[in-house]
Structure formats: structure tokens, C-alpha cells
């Protein structure tokens, strides 16, 4: 079907529409789904003064919520729910904590030479991890402060997410060679 004259658009408009279509919320959610829904353990790691307390945890990452922003750049805020069962062991006493929170990842869609779509992910920092740590005892709450439990959780989760986004399978979906895919589509 041949388009009529009124339906033609500029190359610039075509490029912008193509990019907005290519990096939809659903595509980003599907592509980065490997970062979420995972469960992992960490510890024991030493925390607090003299690293006397030992922390172990079971971490579960939930399904993300995605916000898309279309401006000069197309960007995304990926908010991943986080649930942690944490134990702080002081050798004489063990305290359990329930942690709920979120990990915030910032993604930006960019174009690169020769004809690529690149999804940049800002390196997660501890400040991108927000946690609410709960203990059922006053002693546990005091231990939480003395052992810097909140900080250690944020630091560890940020480091884990940084390692995950560097994996080859994530790298493959972050760098899309449009030219190669177009060449393949034009072969009869």
C-alpha cells in the first residue's frame, strides 16, 4: 500500500517516532526482567565497630514498576521491590530483622554510531536503595543502629545490582545493532 503525500514525515520525525516505539515501557520491562524476580543470599559479613557482628540475609527482588519520561532523551525509572530476611549474629545473641524497600535504577535510551540504540544504566549507588528495617525488640532496634544494618544492606544490594547489569546477557539487550537487524530483514 502506497502512502499518500499527506502521510509523509521528515527523517527527523521518523527517527524520533522509531526510537519512542523501540524503547517502549513493555520492551524495557521484558528486556530487564532478568534483573528482577531473583533471590540471593549474602553473608556472613562483618558489620559495626570492629566488624564484630556478622550479618547474613536472604534477599528477594520483586517485579519492577517502570516510569517512562519522554523529553530531549527517553529515560526510565525502574523501581524494583526488595524483601530481605536478615540475621545479625553477635555470638552471644542473634537478632532477626524484616526489611522491605526498593531499588531505583535510572535508564536512558541513546543512539550511537553507526546505527545503534544503547540503553545506559546509571551505576546503582547505596542512595538508590531505600529500606525500611523492622525489628520486634528494642534490643534489635539498638543493634540495628550500632551495626549500621541499614547502610550495609544498601551498600550490598547496590553492589549486587551493579554486578548484575554488567553481565553479558544484560549487555546484549543494552546495545541493539539496528543496522544488522535491518540488513537481515531485507534479505529475501
Q: Give all domains of the chain, ordered by start, each with its CATH number.
A: 5-185 (3.15.10)
8-state DSSP, 1: -
What pLDDT, on a 0 to 100 scale, did the predictor assign at position 153? Answer: 86
What residues are paired with 107 via a beta bridge? 76, 121
- Per-residue pLDDT tens for 28-69? 888 877 777 778 888 788 777 777 778 888 989 898 899 999
With pLDDT > 90 as the criterion, what percentage of the chain qualifies?
38
Tell how many helices (H) and how many strands (E) occur in the chain: 6, 8
CA distance 116 to 110: 8
| CA–CA–CA angle 75, 81, 86 (5° rounding) | 140
Q: Which residue has the higher pLDDT, 128 or 179?
A: 128
Task: Kindly tell me if the per-residue pLDDT of 10 is higher than 90.
Answer: yes
Average pLDDT value over all residues in the chain: 87
Helix residue spans in 82-148 (DSSP H): 138-146
- Per-residue pLDDT tens for 137-161? 888 888 788 777 888 889 888 998 8
Q: Which residue has the higher pLDDT, 7 or 34?
A: 7
What pLDDT, on a 0 to 100 scale, did the predictor assign at position 167? Answer: 87
Amino acid at each position: 500500500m502506497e502512502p499518500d503525500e499527506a502521510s509523509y514525515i521528515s527523517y527527523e520525525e521518523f527517527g524520533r517516532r522509531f526510537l519512542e516505539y523501540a524503547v517502549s515501557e513493555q520492551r524495557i520491562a521484558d528486556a530487564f526482567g532478568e534483573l528482577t524476580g531473583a533471590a540471593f543470599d549474602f553473608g556472613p559479613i562483618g558489620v559495626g565497630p570492629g566488624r564484630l557482628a556478622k550479618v547474613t540475609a536472604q534477599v528477594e527482588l520483586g517485579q519492577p514498576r517502570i516510569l517512562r519520561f519522554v523529553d530531549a532523551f527517553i529515560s526510565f525509572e525502574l523501581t524494583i521491590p526488595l524483601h530481605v530476611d536478615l540475621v545479625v549474629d553477635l555470638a552471644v545473641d542473634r537478632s532477626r530483622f524484616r526489611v522491605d524497600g526498593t531499588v531505583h535504577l535510572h535508564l536512558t535510551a541513546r543512539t550511537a554510531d553507526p546505527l545503534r540504540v544503547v540503553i545506559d544504566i546509571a551505576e546503582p549507588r547505596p542512595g538508590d536503595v531505600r529500606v525500611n528495617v523492622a525489628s520486634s525488640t528494642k534490643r534489635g532496634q539498638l543493634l540495628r543502629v550500632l551495626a549500621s544494618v541499614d547502610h550495609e544492606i544498601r551498600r550490598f544490594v547496590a553492589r549486587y545490582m551493579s554486578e548484575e547489569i554488567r553481565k553479558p546477557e544484560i549487555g546484549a539487550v543494552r546495545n541493539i545493532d539496528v543496522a544488522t537487524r535491518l540488513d537481515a530483514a531485507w534479505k529475501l
